Amino acid sequence: MEENKSKPVNRQDSKKFQINHPGQYLDHMIKQTRTHHVQLSIMADSKANMLLTVATVVITLSVPHLVDPKLRWGMLVLIVFSFITIVLSTYAVMPKLPLMYKPDQKPDMQSPFFNLLFFGSFVRLSLDEYVDAMEEVMNDPSSSYEAMVKEVYTLGVFLATKKYRFIRLAYLAFIFGVFASMMVLIFTGNLMG
C-alpha cells in the first residue's frame, strides 16, 4: 500500500466533517489515539537521547586513539559518523517552531495543517480570536471531533516526518559508521594488531 506523502487530504473539496452519533466511545478512541501518539513521542525522545549519549561516549573513547597511526583512520570514520548521529538525534528532539515569531502574520485557519488545539498554531491568534474559534468549535460536536481528529493527524504527521524519520537516519548513520570503521580497520590490516 503506497502512501501519499506530498499533501494532506484537502477537506475543502470534500464533504463537511460530520459525526452522526457522538458518544463516549468516540471520545475514548480519540483519547487513546492521542495518548498513544504522546507515548510514541516520548519513546522517540528517549531513543534520540540514547543515541546522543552513545555517540558522545564513542567519540570520547575514540579521540585518544587518533594519535595511533594504526587506528587513526578507523577512529576518524567512527568519530565522523558519531558526530552525524549526534546532529540527527539532536534535530529529532529539537522543537520545530519558527525561530522568528511574527505576531502580525495571522495563520490560515482553513489550512489542513492549522490545529486549534496546538499552541504552535494558535499562538499567532489574539486571545479574542482564539476564544471565538474555540467557542465555535465547542458548540458544535462535529467541529469538536474534527478539531480532535486534526490534532491526532498533525501529531502523527509530525512524529513520522520530524521525529522518527531523523531518529531512523541517526541509527543508520551510527550503524554504518561502526561498520565502515571496522571495514577500514580490516582493510588496513589493523583490526587484530
Q: What percent of the chain has pLDDT over 90?
A: 49
| Domain boundaries defined on the chain | 24-96+105-187
d(CA 184, CA 70): 10
d(CA 182, CA 97): 39
Is the separation of the CB atoms in 162 and 96 below 8 Å? yes
The pLDDT value given to residue 15 = 62
Cβ-based neighbour number of residue 47 at 10 Å? 19
Q: What is the pLDDT along the chain (193 residues), one digit of tens a residue?
A: 344 444 444 545 456 777 777 778 888 888 899 999 999 999 999 999 999 999 999 999 999 999 998 999 999 999 999 999 999 999 999 987 766 666 677 888 887 778 888 888 888 888 999 999 999 989 988 888 888 888 888 889 989 999 999 999 999 999 999 999 999 999 987 766 5
Backbone angles phi, psi at 114, to 5 degrees: -75, 130
d(CA 35, CA 30): 8
d(CA 41, CA 155): 9
Average pLDDT over the chain reads 85
Is the separation of the CB atoms in 66 and 28 below 8 Å? no
- Half-sphere exposure of residue 90: CA atoms within 13 angstroms, side-chain side: 8
